[in-house]
Structure 1
Amino acid sequence: MPPAKNQKIWNDDLISACEARRAQASAMGSSHEFQWINAKSKIEGTAKKIYITSTDSIKNLPDGLSKTVVHYLERIIRAAQPYCNVAMELNYHAAGGRAAMMKQGWASISTLEKH
């Protein structure tokens, strides 16, 4: 199924994100630099457009990416907040307790829009 005409295509944004993470890993002297180089080259090498459907399913993300890379790219596409900051309202009633809440990020879209 091709993306809708008004659908956002994520290829360029994901390539930029991989390059930024590569630069960050390089600055820290981390060996994780190579997983980001690999991810960037796989995304650049794909001819298909990466997009998200109305049912929140990500289409055409290349195979062979590490779990870390896949989770990071999925968070970018879904516009998730991957961390908690001081201004965030805590949601102690999130499924899975405090640990799950810290992973989930913002308690709701309305909380995110307030900040």
Structure 2
Amino acid sequence: MTTPKTNRKSGFPAVHLLEEIAQLLAEGPRTSNELVAITGYTKVTCCTRLKQLEASGQAYRVVAQASVTWYAGRKPAADTAAIIPRQPTVRDYPVIGRRDMLVQAFFGAPRECRA
């Protein structure tokens, strides 16, 4: 039977790191360096767990110059973006059987189909 890997500094196992980070973010916004200092795990490990929380919608990040601050919950703009209707930028025009003047000058007049 294997025992879960624990960190010597924080004392909690790595399998509970995701819940621990979510709980720390619920207390208030934190930078990734603060989370590394509190948990005692490496920055790569903490950032991986933060990205997992972000993918599940439990956390979001705000980038300000060189620092990244993480917050609990969904990103506020994500709710607004979901309800804004999307309009296609390409429009379909009806076929009218004529060519543009410049296209006609370059390619010639359109050929008529004979059935």
Structure with bigger helix share is 1
Kindly name which structure, 1 or 2, has the bigger radius of gyration based on alpha carbons: 2
**Same topology, TM > 0.5:** no
Q: TM-score, normalised by structure 2?
A: 0.23
TM norm structure 1: 0.23
In proportion to residue count, which structure has more strand? 2
